[in-house]
Amino acid sequence: MPFRLLVVGASGSGKTTLVEKLIPALAARGMRVASAKHAHHGFEAEKPGSDSDRHAAAGATPVILVSESEAAVMWRRDPPRVEDLIDLVAKEVDIVVIEGYGALPGPKVLVHRAVVEPKPVKDPERIIAAVTDEPLGYEMEFAHDEVDALADLIAGQVGGK
């Protein structure tokens, strides 16, 4: 089972920016990295009228798309839980960086900016580090540009799964 790292924080705090920097930093440490992101407002994987859109409209669920360079599986109804999707890729990766899904169990990195209204964090005792621009009182705190130091901390956690 891959290590699951939750990246949590208020909207606008820099979660996505951190994740896009953290993924290559973890990969540079020899880890195979997957990511999962909660899309609050839904998303469109294929444009309306495309063949896969027509397959879904006809009732196929899921729809599997494969090209020479990428693949995707889309559910338009009753999508699986994120935990079940992570299980599908478990043997392929060492770590899954999960943006959002703060209610899932697992270690968390809290992303905070002083100019953004914070939101309550579920299970704050699971926070292993904060990425912040002001002191918050956590044992491990990093500035937003200290991604390598954060990656080292996470790599140590993954090694000790």
Q: Where are the domains of the chain?
A: 3-42+79-159
Per-residue pLDDT tens over the stretch 58-101: 888 899 888 899 888 888 888 899 999 999 999 999 999 999 88
Of 7, 54, 47, nearest in space to 154 by CA: 7
Q: If pLDDT is split at 50, 70 and 90, which confidence band does 133 have?
A: very high
pTM above 0.75, yes or no: yes
Fold adopted by 3-42+79-159 = Rossmann fold (3.40.50)
> Exposed, middle or buried: residue 160 (CB in 10 Å: 0-12, 13-18, 19+)?
exposed
